[in-house]
């Protein structure tokens, strides 16, 4: 049993400080995920990598009874926490006094401009919420791949599916999100 797996089991069993030790071992992974998130938000973003990691840590610790199956599952949960933090941060930046309101744009454009305009983060988040209503697994793949920057293999491990399933879901989710963000009807349907 690896150290990470051992600490995950210890955390599940309520061993004090197991979670803190676990975070110490995966801190570099969390930093990598946070750097990817910040890159998408752009260089002018005020939330730095360390702050994002620490806020995600606090958010995960606050989840009563959080259980993690393995390293991949833990990183997937961290990706969701980071997504929520970034969306909250984007909401704050786009309040009415800052010109609030979302603009529809294709996903490719969102990826290019996300750092210059936090409204796109909010639009993507809303579209991802709509996708989750139709296809939860596809939405989770987007969280892992786009928001956490996990590889196909890491995403497959986190979601306990095959790499080929991740590839199919990623293609389907991107197409669905492009349609949603462009204001067209959903190709998946209601």
**131 within a domain of the structure (yes/no):** yes
Measure the CA–CA gap between 3 and 120, rounded to whole angstroms: 39
Residues 6+ apart with CB under 8 A from 160: 69, 73
**187 within a domain of the structure (yes/no):** no
Domain tally, the chain = 1
Structure confidence at residue 79 as a pLDDT band (50, 70, 90): confident
**188 within a domain of the structure (yes/no):** no
* Res 112: pLDDT: 45
Please count the residues of the chain: 190
H/E/C letters for each residue in the chain?
CCHHHHHHHHHHCCCCCHHHHHHHHHHHHHHHHHHHHHHHHCCCCCCCHHHHHHHHHHHHHHCCCCCCCCHHHHHHHHHHHHHHHHHHHHHHHCCHHHCCCCCCCCHHHHHHHCCCCCHHHHHHHHHHHHHHHHCHHHHHHHHHHHHCCCCHHHHHHHHCCCHHHHHHHHHHHHHHHHHHHCCCCCCCCC
**Can you give the residue range of the structural domain that contains 33?**
3-181
**29 within a domain of the structure (yes/no):** yes
- Half-sphere exposure of residue 164: CA atoms within 13 angstroms, side-chain side: 0
Give the mean pLDDT of the chain: 76
54 CA to centre of own chain: 15
58-87: average pLDDT: 77
> How does 125-162 read in b/e, with b if 16+ C-beta sit within 10 Å?
bebbeebeeebebbbbbbbbbbbbbbebebbbbbbebe
The pLDDT > 70 percentage for the chain reads 73
Give pLDDT tens digits for 26-60: 888 888 878 877 776 553 456 778 888 888 888 88
**190 within a domain of the structure (yes/no):** no
Nearest Cα residue to 161 out of 145, 133, 137: 137
**186 within a domain of the structure (yes/no):** no
pTM, 2 dp: 0.62
**15 within a domain of the structure (yes/no):** yes
Give pLDDT tens digits for 91-144: 777 664 444 444 545 555 444 444 445 667 778 888 989 999 999 999 999 988
């Amino acid at each position: 049993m690896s150290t990470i797996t051992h600490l995950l089991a210890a955390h599940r069993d309520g061993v004090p400080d197991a979670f803190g030790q676990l975070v110490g071992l995966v801190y570099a992974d969390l930093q990598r995920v946070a750097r990817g998130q910040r890159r998408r938000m752009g260089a002018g973003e005020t939330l730095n990598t360390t702050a994002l990691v620490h806020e995600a840590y606090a958010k995960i610790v606050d989840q009563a009874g959080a259980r993690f199956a393995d390293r991949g599952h833990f990183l997937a949960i961290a990706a969701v926490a980071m997504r929520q933090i970034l969306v909250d941060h984007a909401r704050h930046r786009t309040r009415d006094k800052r010109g609030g309101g979302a603009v529809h744009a294709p996903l490719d454009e969102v990826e290019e401009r996300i750092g210059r305009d936090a409204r796109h983060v909010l639009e993507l988040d809303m579209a991802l919420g709509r996708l989750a209503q139709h296809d939860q697994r596809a939405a989770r793949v987007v969280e892992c791949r786009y928001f956490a920057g996990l590889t196909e293999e890491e995403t497959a491990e986190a979601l306990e599916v095959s790499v080929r399933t991740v590839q199919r879901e990623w293609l389907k989710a991107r197409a669905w999100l492009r349609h949603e963000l462009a204001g067209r009807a959903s190709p998946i349907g209601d």
